């Protein structure tokens, strides 16, 4: 296949073993070329302008800048770069957040090599590919009533706002002069009211629905 048609791929994952496996997968296909790897969202943002990949395989749960934030940042730096989220889970809020950040695809890591190669080619052509799990999450989200800001207590909105700012539980406790246990209690209530089970999902929904 001619060099002009080779799809340039970058891998973003904090686990070296995962990056190694994906690298070997890419080498199997003559129309795919691995142009770079990043072990964090921050590193991906730094590399993307220099490498200019066609498609980025993006993990979600990484220390520091997570995959949703990294997707948004790399799309701002390189609008022509297509991002496929490649993660181990599909949760309410996170799928929507990734797509709103500019991801072209959302796949789970149990995807087959052939399915991933097809998704990379589709992303390069501007077509979206979603795993069945991600599709189910989106369908489920459309049937759920929207949480309103007034359903959260004033303290819960304060805690959620600091979560959106990226503060840790301990930092939130220090800022609000609360015990760590009290902060965890409020966060548990926030998760319950928003119908999520992770910090990323809660923050994503808070931004989507302007709860804070």
Residue 113 neighbours by CB under 8 Å, 6+ apart: 25, 28
Q: Is the pLDDT of residue 4 over 80?
A: no
pLDDT in tens, 36-57: 999 999 999 999 989 999 999 9
The architecture of the domain spanning 149-208 is: Orthogonal Bundle (1.10)
What pLDDT shows up at residue 146?
A: 59
pLDDT in tens, 17-30: 999 999 999 999 99
CATH 3.40.50.2300 residue spans of the chain: 3-142
Angle of the 199-208 helix axis to the 154-164 helix axis, nearest 10: 100
Across 120-148, average pLDDT: 78
Q: How confident is the model at residue 145 (pLDDT cuts 50, 70, 90)?
A: low
Asked which of 20-24, 167-171, 180-184, 199-203 is least confident by mean pLDDT, the reply is 199-203
The residues facing 106 across adjacent strands are: 85, 130
The architecture of the domain spanning 3-142 is: 3-Layer(aba) Sandwich (3.40)
The 10 Å CB-count burial string (b at 16+, else e) for 11-31 is bbbbeeebbeebeebbeebee
Q: Is the pLDDT of residue 64 over 70?
A: yes
């Amino acid at each position: 296949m001619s060099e002009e048609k080779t799809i340039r791929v970058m891998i973003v994952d904090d686990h070296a073993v995962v990056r190694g496996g994906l690298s070997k997968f890419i080498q199997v296909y003559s129309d795919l070329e691995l142009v770079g790897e990043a072990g964090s969202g921050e590193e991906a943002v730094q590399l993307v302008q220099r490498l200019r990949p066609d498609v980025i395989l993006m993990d979600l749960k990484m220390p520091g800048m997570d995959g949703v934030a990294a997707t948004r940042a790399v799309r701002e730096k390189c609008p022509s770069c297509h991002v496929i989220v490649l993660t181990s889970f599909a949760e309410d809020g996170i799928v929507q957040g990734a797509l709103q950040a500019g991801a072209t695809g959302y796949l789970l890591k149990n995807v087959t090599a052939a399915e991933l190669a097809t998704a990379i080619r589709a992303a390069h052509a501007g077509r979206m590919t979603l795993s069945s799990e991600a599709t189910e999450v989106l369908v489920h989200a459309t049937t759920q009533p929207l949480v309103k800001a007034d359903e959260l207590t004033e303290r819960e909105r304060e805690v959620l706002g600091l979560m959106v700012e990226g503060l840790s539980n301990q930092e939130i406790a220090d800022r609000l002069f609360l015990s760590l246990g009290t902060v965890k209690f409020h966060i548990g209530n926030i998760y319950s009211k928003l119908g999520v089970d992770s910090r990323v999902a809660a923050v994503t929904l808070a931004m989507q629905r302007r709860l804070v």
